[in-house]
Structure formats: structure tokens, C-alpha cells
Amino acid sequence: MTVFLPNTAEEVLETVRWAVSEEAPLEVVGHGSKRGIGQPVQTAHTLDLSKLTGVTLYEPEELVLSARAGTPIAEIEALLREHNQELAFEPMDYGPLFGGEPGRGTLGGLLAANLAGPRRLKAGAARDHVLGVHAVSGRGEGFKSGGRVVKNVTGYDLSKGLAGSWGTLAVATDITMKVLPAAETETTFCIAGLDDAAATQAMAIAMGSSAEVSGAAHLPEGVVGRFIDGGFSGGGQTVLRVEGFGPSVAYRIDLLSRLLGNHGSAETLDEAASRRLWREIRDGHPFADGSPAPVWRVSVTPSRGHELVDAFRRAAGANVYYDWQGGLIWMRMEADPEAEILRKMIAHLGGGHATLVRAPLAIRAATPVFEPQPAPLAALSARLKEQFDPQKILNPGRMDFT
């Protein structure tokens, strides 16, 4: 068993070439903060990118940043903060959910897992912000795609192709991201006491208004006490985040209170509490309490989320909260994940996907972690894998069909 710790892109290339020639599969990791997600990978050798670090280009006025794949996200975010900028898609931090430290994770992992956060609704995910990559395919060939400019349609967008691929197509060595100004301030508008259906309706009204809401979540009674140190009093909370320049935020909060004033009693959270709340919503905080119970992240049509939960709860016990206007459901199971029942219900409600982001090894080995794909799509995905990594050198088995 060997751990390779390359310091340069050339060393990554050399390592993959060696693995290809030896037909020796590699587990590709950064900090390993998301190692618990996906099918367990069992390889004799590990390609550890945590020494391939450093921001290589940052031009705040050009809204662009490039860094080597092993650069810590925390380092990038700290640098951006100095210039009042950020990764606008608000990459979530899986660490705490697995009982790990917060603030770990690398840029390569961020792209491989296509991370996003509550602002997904407005700003997109990692895929929407990656501008270019340099990578080494499972064939042992270095290639680049994209560039450093936002508007670029020159050739296929292989950088997007690597987003969400969990390191099974190629090993990114350098990644260029679009960065954006951070909002001057934020406030969260909270409505108390709505049930899931009424909350869904309120979130749809808010998102369909000109209030430019950048986070819409519903925290039902069963979980609301675990947010912001129990700072919410009573019943469920439907929370809407408004970000921007001070005068604009005040104006839009006022707009929301006029639009939703009759939906329940409303209050606002100030900037500090708001920041904390959305970080906790982002990271699955209520379920990051050391328990190993299975956790799903389910993505469906926003207006159907509460119907899914309602139906599923008749079959299995689960604790839930909603992000993305009701379309992202965080769900902790009381017992087994009940994958088949859940996925059947998702299909019945118009489609979506369920990811078993946390579960004991034995369950993950027996349950498809990622949503199974229809045959023609699975065949196409397998052909794509074959084109990038014909010998299945990179993270073999991490995604179910690979």
C-alpha cells in the first residue's frame, strides 16, 4: 500500500502513468473530508493531492482565481474575504456531518463533488462557477479545458464534465473559478408556525417576487430547536435570506413583509445570526450531532418536496428540513434508509434524486448511494467513463455504475 503525495502537476501525471502501466487503481483524495460519501473505494494505492497547493492567480477586479487542486477551500475563502469577495455558490462543508472538523476540504474535492449551498437557487453550484481546468485523465494524459474568462464557448466544457464526477474521470491539478463580490450585508426574514405545505407556498411567493431572495428554507418544529443554539422560539420557521447593499436589503425585507405579512408572525435575524443560521442550514447541522443514523439529501421539484415527505413518513420515521425553496430535503432516518420506497416515491412525484450522504459502511455497500440511472443514461455514462479512464484506475466503484 502506497500513498503518493505529489507536489506538482507533473508528479500527478507521472503517478497516474505508473498506475496505468501497472493496472494499479488509485483512490484519489484531497483532505478526505467527503470520504464517507459514495461506495467505499478499496485500492492498494492512494493519490493524495493535499500537498498540491497554492493559489496561482487571483485578480479581484477580473473576478477570477486559479489554484492547485489540493488548495484548502478555507485558504481560498480567507483570501477572497480580504477583498470582499467569495465563492458565490456557497460550497457546503460535509465535515461536521461525518463527525469531522469543520473547514476542511480542497478545491479539487469541491469540484469533484459539485458542491453548493443555500444560494444554489440564485447563484448555481460549483459547475456554474468553474471556468477552466488542467487535469490528468485515467489514460495518463494531461489535458486542459476552458480558460480564465467567463464567456467562453470554445470547445466542449470538460471542466463542467468533471463537476460531480467524484474523481472517476480525471484528476484535476489546477482549477480556475469565477469569484464574485460578497454581499455588503444580509438579513433573514422568518415566519413562524407554518406547516410544510403553507411554508412551501410562502417560499414560492418569495422566490417569485422581486425581493431577490438568496436562501429559502423551512425548518419544521422537530428540528428548529437545533439551529442557532435554540434561538428560535416555538413552532416551525420558514426563513428567507436577503443579501446586498444596505438600503436595498432594507427595502426588500419590507417588500417581503408586505407580501407575506398575513402568512404568520414574522421577525428578522440580524447579520450575524443570519450568517450563522445559513451556515448551519448549509452543512446539515441538526444531523451533525455524532449520530451515525442514515442521512439523505433529496432533490426534487421544489413544490413537491413536502408531498414527498408526507408520503414517505407514512412508511418510515424521519426527521427533515427543507432548503432550496423546499426542493432540497435533508432527511435523517430513525432506522433503515428505505432506499427503494423513497426512490419509487420520487419517481412517482415527477422525478429527482436521492443521495445517501451518510450511512454505515455495510448499508452503503448494499444500497446505491447515488440515484440509479435509466439504462440508456447509465450506458452513456459508462461510455464516457471508458473514454476518460478505460482501465478504471481512478476511484474504481465510487460511483455505482463505474
- Binding of other proteins at residue 224 (CB under 8 A)? no
DSSP for 35-63, please give it.
TTSSSPP--SEEEE-TTS--EEEEEGGGT
- Binding of other proteins at residue 257 (CB under 8 A)? no
Q: How far is the CB of 257 from other proteins (least distance, A)?
A: 14
- Binding of other proteins at residue 145 (CB under 8 A)? yes
Cell of 382: 459508462
Tell how strand 130-137 and strand 142-146 pair up.
Answer: antiparallel
Residues 191-220 that bind other proteins (CB under 8 A): 204, 207-212
Spatial separation of the C-alpha atoms in residues 53 and 71, rounded to whole Å? 4
Number of residues that bind other proteins (CB under 8 A): 107
CA distances 44 to 12, 37, 168, 363, Å, are 17, 19, 16, 23
Residue 115: which region, alpha, beta or left (left: phi > 0; alpha: psi -120 to 50)?
A: beta
Spatial separation of the C-alpha atoms in residues 209 and 263, rounded to whole Å? 15
Q: Which of 153, 230, 262, 290 binds other proteins (CB under 8 A)?
A: 153
- Binding of other proteins at residue 233 (CB under 8 A)? no
- Binding of other proteins at residue 160 (CB under 8 A)? yes
In 279-299, which positions are buried (b, 16+ CB within 10 angstroms) versus exposed (e)? bbbbbbbbbbeeeebbbbbbb
Pair 400, 370: CB distance under 8 Å: yes
Q: Which of 197, 231, 234, 245 binds other proteins (CB under 8 A)?
A: 245
- Binding of other proteins at residue 250 (CB under 8 A)? yes
Q: Which of 112, 169, 309, 356 binds other proteins (CB under 8 A)?
A: 169
What DSSP element (H or E) covers 214? strand 213-219
Q: How far is the CB of 129 from other proteins (least distance, A)?
A: 9
Q: Which of 49, 69, 73, 125 binds other proteins (CB under 8 A)?
A: 125
Nearer to other proteins among residue 184 and residue 271 (C-beta): 184
- Binding of other proteins at residue 17 (CB under 8 A)? yes
Nearer to other proteins among residue 207 and residue 228 (C-beta): 207
Contacting residues for 314 by C-beta, under 8 A, at least 6 apart:
none
Span from 71-79, 260-268, 334-342, 384-392 in contact with other proteins (CB under 8 A) = 384-392
Q: How far is the CB of 93 from other proteins (least distance, A)?
A: 17
Q: How far is the CB of 228 from other proteins (least distance, A)?
A: 25
- Binding of other proteins at residue 284 (CB under 8 A)? no
- Binding of other proteins at residue 222 (CB under 8 A)? no
Q: How far is the CB of 142 from other proteins (least distance, A)?
A: 6
Nearer to other proteins among residue 321 and residue 324 (C-beta): 324
Spatial separation of the C-alpha atoms in residues 58 and 201, rounded to whole Å? 42
Spatial separation of the C-alpha atoms in residues 179 and 89, rounded to whole Å? 9
- Binding of other proteins at residue 335 (CB under 8 A)? no
- Binding of other proteins at residue 312 (CB under 8 A)? no
Pair 118, 278: CB distance under 8 Å: yes
Span from 25-33, 56-64, 96-104, 274-282 in contact with other proteins (CB under 8 A) = 56-64
Q: Which of 119, 127, 358, 364 binds other proteins (CB under 8 A)?
A: 127
CA distances 231 to 71, 130, 214, 237, 282, Å, are 35, 37, 22, 11, 17
Residues 23-52 that bind other proteins (CB under 8 A): none
